[in-house]
A and B are shown apart, each in its own frame.
Chain A
Amino acid sequence: MRSHHDLGGLPAGRVERDEHDYAEWEQRVDALMMLLSHKDRQLLKVDELRRNIEALGAEAYDRMRYYERWMHAIVQVLIQRGVITIDELGRKMAEGVQDGNG
């Protein structure tokens, strides 16, 4: 069975010549991926990231934007590896909302 992300040869529409600058948070997601996968830290392997993106399920994979998928995957790997816990992440995210940063 073909995995949802394994797209080569499937029918699709026109290539939208989309170009846009990335928001700061997206650039920081990219940076985090580079830093965490760097040989000095080795806190995630790029293939762990990809596996988590591939496991999103078709609807989420299609709906989510590129850096949303990466952010989701980075968090999954950090939780899987025990670097952060779900509880502390949830609390930290809630702090952000209360401060009006939501």
Chain B
Amino acid sequence: MNNPGKLPSGDGAGYYRRMQAAVEELLILKGVVTADDVDRQVEAMAGRDYTRGAKMVARAWVDPAYQARVLADGSAAAAELGLEIGPLRLIVVANTPEVHNVIVCTLCSCYPRMLLGIPPEWYKSRAYRSRVVREPRAVLAEFGTRLPEHIRIRVHDSTADMRYMVLPMRPTGTAGWSEERLASLVTRDALIGVAQLPEAV
């Protein structure tokens, strides 16, 4: 509602939302996109989440040959499971009893979005991006994750064209579990590397 006593705001709440609506309308008028294109793209991204990565992890746990393929070429291994990932160049890094992997993009917010969807807000934060390459264990502790002393950490900074996902270790006490049940154990934070998976027993 226009308030005649005030000048319209050039900033403040809603400015970028108005910009988004205006740009979208202009691009539709110019035939660059349709509203349907945008709706479908929103839906497609909303339909991508960490459970897609969890499927790959569960398959890797039950099938050592698939695990080898995941670690050799993450993108091809995702495609094998019918996971549509577009041009994503995926590198999967395996946790072992000696090595723990953590993923970051210190320069912006690069993340394997076409596999796992939109990253959490904290992944894009100044604090995470600044500190995890400098004091990874202190950052992990803030997520409640404490690694044994002897473990080496590999921090992967996604600075260019590759994107990363962690292959967590299979929890003990899961012998004989179905892939579906195994996949349900996997968390998004474990795929980023700030969390470990609890043992099942």
Contacts and interface: CB of A to CB of B under 8 A. Distances in A.
A and B, one complex?
A: yes
Interface of A: 5-20, 22-25, 27-32, 34-36, 41, 43, 50, 53, 62, 66-68, 71-72, 74-75, 78, 83-84, 88-89, 92-98, 100-102
Interface of B: 1-2, 8-9, 14, 16-27, 30, 32-33, 37-38, 41-42, 45-46, 106-109, 118, 120-122, 124-131, 133-134, 139, 142-143, 157
Given A11-B131, A68-B16, 16 more contacts: A7-B106, A7-B126, A9-B106, A10-B126, A14-B142, A19-B121, A25-B16, A28-B38, A35-B41, A43-B32, A89-B26, A92-B22, A92-B26, A93-B18, A94-B8, A97-B8
Contacts of B131: 11-12, 15
A53 B128 CA distance: 19
A97 to B, nearest CB: 6
Contacts of B38: 28, 31-32, 35
Contacts of A92: 22-23, 25-26
A12 B127 contact: yes
Would you call the interface of chain A mostly helix, strand, loop, or mixed?
Answer: helix
A27 B42 contact: yes
Nearest to A24: B42
A20 B108 CA distance: 19
